[in-house]
Structure formats: C-alpha cells, structure tokens
Amino acid sequence: MVPLYIAQGHQVDVLLFDGTDTPFKRQLQEKGVTVYELGKGRSVYNPMNLFKLVPFLRKYDIVHTHNTACQLFAAIGSVLCSVVLVTTEHTTSNRRRDWKWYRFIDKWMYSRYKKVICISDQAQKNLLAYLGNVSNVVTIYNGIDYSLFKNARPLNGLRIKDETIVTMVAGFRYQKDHETLIRAIAHLPENVRLWLIGDGERRSMLEQLARELGIENRVRFWGVRSDIPEMLKTSDIIVMSSHFEGLSLSSIEGMSVGKPFVASDVDGLHEITKGAGILFPHGDDHKLAETISRLISDKSYYNEIANRCMERASHYDIHITVEKYQNIYQEVLQNK
C-alpha cells in the first residue's frame, strides 16, 4: 500500500521496531520507501523504544500502527505528545484476550486511536465482543496486487514430472496449523510433495514431525521468499491450515493464481473461502488428505474450484483497500 500512497503524492515512511534485514524490507527500499528502525534483533517491547518513538509521533499528520508492541507504545506516546493515531487489527483473536487482567489495558489502548480498522467482518465482531460497544471500529478488507499474482509465470527447474505440489505460505507461528497439513501429506501417495514457504520459531518442531512421519524427503522448507507469486503459480494446490486468522493475505494470494485453495474452517478463513475454495474441519488431517486426493483425481472439479477462487480473489484488489484507507485518513484529519 505504501508505494501506492507515494505515487499519489503523499509522504509515507515506514518505522520498524525491529529493523532486521528481510526480503520484504529490501523490496520497500528498492521502491524508494524510506524505512527507519528503532533497533535490530532485540525485543520489540524494550522500554527504550518508547523514548525513541516519541520524536516520530511528532513528525507526521497520522501515525498508523500494526501489531501489539507498536499499538501499545504509540498509545502511551500519545499521552506525551499530540498525535492522530490509526491502527489495524489483523486477527480474529490473540493471546492477550485470554488474560482477563489485561483487558482494561487493551480498552485504554484502543481508546487512544481515532480509528481501529479490522481486516474482516469476523475480526470486527470479535473485537467488539471483547471491548464492548465502541464507536471507533470499522472494517476494511485487506487487499493484494491481484494482477501481479494472476499474471505470474511458473518457475522452471523446481519440480519433476508427474509430482503434485501442495503449497502453504505462512510464518511458523502458534496461530498456524502446519502439523495438520504435514500429517495429511503422510496419508497421500509418494508423488505428492509439500512446499512450506516462510520461517519462524516453530520450524525445527515441524521439521522433526516430518522426520517422525518418514516424509522428510517430501516436505521442502523454502524459508522466506520474495517470489511468492511465481512459487504459487508453480504449485498445484494451495492450502492454509490455521487455528484462526484475521483476513489472511496469503490466502487471497493463493486464490488468485488459478489454483484450487483449501483452508481450515476457522474464523478469518471461513468467510473468504466459503463458496469459492474448499473448507476442511479444523485439525482433520484425514479430511484434508481426502480433499487433496479428489482435486488430484478429478480434473473437472479441480478447474471448477480454481476458477471460483480467482473470481473471489478479484474482490480483494489492493487499489480498493488503498482508496478506503485514504477516506479514513481524510476523516480523522478533518475531525482533528
């Protein structure tokens, strides 16, 4: 979204609490985006971040935050200086909501924001149930560069003849359910291979699971990639196995490349998948394996699901998202 804002004449910079080098960070810089950082490789909850953050809060007309540490520190900083805050709520749930003692902190934090933008209807519903009836919460669906994924070209030399590639793009975090997908692959024939794109603290655990199931040679851990559209286009079936989501951009990207999309029937995935892709019961590796097997064996069914997924993904174009965000920015500035 940031390069699109800049192309329209706005000044938009990015501030990272953790400035560790990533392909995504490099992509922003290559597009001319100014990227600041508070540090590298240390805790995002370091109290010194607050003091480093305050000068940035004074520098801009609007400060838009993402994720807990940034949300909380900006809210505290807004007590020290005048700033217009907007934030995005990315998930339908989080661990903080299980801590009853933390609820009053969250209610105070969200009250410091002019707008809280939820990325799906379910995310808004769950947040309001948690916070109570507040007036600063709205929903704007996340978006992707639809044409970039639709028109991507498959990569050469990554696969062999007669194998089926099942791919999941997701960080190895607690909310993701890679285990169910890995177990499903173990139920399928030898020529069905799994590509896992992403990284995170649970990677070694998942590698161990693949070894225990005897399928380590069929599961490839690609790490973080900057060529996601091409990797998805090279695959045959896209899966998102998760415990909960907000509105998963990886899922929408998976729908947009002309391949069938299969997802856990959980909050944040149910609403975008139903009627287009295929939902399987949460944690049911046998049902997931059956679904993948049918897609492989029934070409007509495969094409039907793939076409429905592409049509659904077209509704989540990033240009629509940008327009709606800009309307929010104009609204909060007028009410400043």
Mind listing the pLDDT tens digit for each residue in 195-237?
Answer: 999 999 999 999 999 999 999 999 999 998 989 999 999 999 9
- Decide: 136 and 116 in contact? Cβ < 8 Å: yes
Write down the pLDDT at residue 117: 96
Q: Does residue 176 sit in helix, strand or coil?
A: strand
Residue range 6-35: mean pLDDT, rounded: 93
| Residue 171, Ramachandran bin (φ over 0: left; ψ between -120 and 50: alpha; else beta) | beta
Write down the pLDDT at residue 49: 95
Q: In whole numbers, what is the pLDDT of the chain averaged over residues?
A: 93
pLDDT at 257 > cutoff 90: yes
Residue range 76-81: mean pLDDT, rounded: 94
- Report d(CA 86, CA 68) in Å as an integer: 13
Write down the pLDDT at residue 142: 85
Q: Does residue 37 sit in helix, strand or coil?
A: strand
Nearest to 72, CA basis, from 97, 109, 118? 109
Write down the pLDDT at residue 315: 86
Residue range 32-55: mean pLDDT, rounded: 94
| Residue 146, Ramachandran bin (φ over 0: left; ψ between -120 and 50: alpha; else beta) | alpha
How would you classify the pairing of strands 85-89 and 219-223? unpaired
Mind listing the pLDDT tens digit for each residue in 183-206?
Answer: 999 999 999 999 999 999 999 999
Nearest to 199, CA basis, from 219, 172, 176? 172
Residue 106: which pLDDT band, with cuts at 50, 70 and 90? very high
pLDDT at 247 > cutoff 80: no
Judge if pTM exceeds 0.85: no
Residue 246: which pLDDT band, with cuts at 50, 70 and 90? low
Domains in the chain: ranges and CATH: 2-143+318-334 (3.40.50.2000), 146-315 (3.40.50.2000)
Mind listing the pLDDT tens digit for each residue in 123-145?
Answer: 899 999 998 888 899 999 888 88
Write down the pLDDT at residue 110: 95
Which amino acid does the sequence have at 68?
A: T
Q: Which residues of 35-64 are buried (b: 16+ CB within 10 A; e: fewer)?
A: eeebbeeeebeeeebbebbbebbeeeebbb
pLDDT at 93 > cutoff 80: no
More confident residue, 82 or 194: 194
Residue range 167-172: mean pLDDT, rounded: 94
Write down the pLDDT at residue 92: 78
Write down the pLDDT at residue 20: 93
Nearest to 320, CA basis, from 103, 198, 147, 166? 147
pLDDT at 182 > cutoff 90: yes
pLDDT at 120 > cutoff 70: yes
Write down the pLDDT at residue 226: 85
- Mean pLDDT is lowest, of 93-102, 225-234, 325-334, for 93-102
More confident residue, 99 or 327: 327
